[in-house]
Amino acid sequence: MTLFHETQGRCPVCFSSVILKKLRSTEGYVAFDLDYRVYARGADPVRLLIQRCDSCQYTEYVTDFLKDVSPAVPDCMARNDYRALLKASRSSDFPLVALIKAAKDEGPERLAYCYLRASWFAGDLGRAAEEEQYLHQAREQFQRALSGAADSVNAADSGRLRTTYMLAEIHRRLSLWEEARAYLREVDSLEFAVLVRDQFNLIQRKDALRRRAKSSR
Ligand SMILES: [Zn+2]
């Protein structure tokens, strides 16, 4: 059974009371994709990561929802891009979270994952152009994250490898084969060995589709 832990709090933007539902456990994971999207038996755990305030439409990860915000956040929510997204038919709320996180200046990696997740839900609805647009936005943010990591002293850490691997996956999904191969060659670590082999095989066949990780079956 999918279990929630409920927390009563106040929206940090409009101060309305909100009940946050935080996922405690799922019915177990059944598989994961090459980009680490997980599938559970019950409710989709990824959709449950975020919540929107019914009064002001502030949208954030449940874990970050109650934290105080700077004036940059209500400014962002008053902007045309945020309001247009609210009115549009949405495949998910992750693009809204991406705008909030950009206003909070939380860095490229967190933005990258918002756009990656946005691409999953656009893809689920068969909205190919939207899926591709979000993959491009994820790519841009992962590249920013990688160039930031190159300047840091911890350049060889596992976070950097993971970002490089994600860039390989996204370039494959966008049919940018040579770039995908170049990123994969940078991921020579035991942790990613099976995934890297699967990726090289898919690139060889020019397969740009979302794929399950074989090791997840
Ligand atoms: Zn609110």
Q: Tell me whether residue 132 is in a domain.
A: no
Instruction: List pLDDT tens digits, range 182-208.
Output: 999 999 788 899 999 999 999 999 999
Nearest 5°: the CA angle 192, 126, 129 is 85
Pull the structure tokens for residue 140: 């841009």
Q: Tell me whether residue 161 is in a domain.
A: no
* C-alpha of residue 14 to centroid of ligand 1, in Å: 4
Q: Tell me whether residue 81 is in a domain.
A: yes
* C-alpha of residue 9 to centroid of ligand 1, in Å: 11
Q: Tell me whether residue 169 is in a domain.
A: no
pLDDT value, residue 29: 86
Instruction: List pLDDT tens digits, range 22-78.
Output: 888 777 889 999 999 999 888 888 998 999 999 999 999 999 999 999 999 999 999
Q: Tell me whether residue 57 is in a domain.
A: yes
Count the domains in the chain: 1
* Cβ partners under 8 Å of residue 56, min gap 6: 11, 13, 14, 16, 77
pTM of the model: 0.94
Q: Tell me whether residue 97 is in a domain.
A: yes
* C-alpha of residue 70 to centroid of ligand 1, in Å: 14
Domain that holds residue 55: 1-126
* C-alpha of residue 210 to centroid of ligand 1, in Å: 35
- 8 A C-beta contact, residue 148 and residue 141: no
Q: Tell me whether residue 176 is in a domain.
A: no
Tell me how far apart the alpha carbons of residues 131 and 123 are, in angstroms, rounded to a whole number.
Answer: 5
* C-alpha of residue 100 to centroid of ligand 1, in Å: 13
Q: Tell me whether residue 119 is in a domain.
A: yes
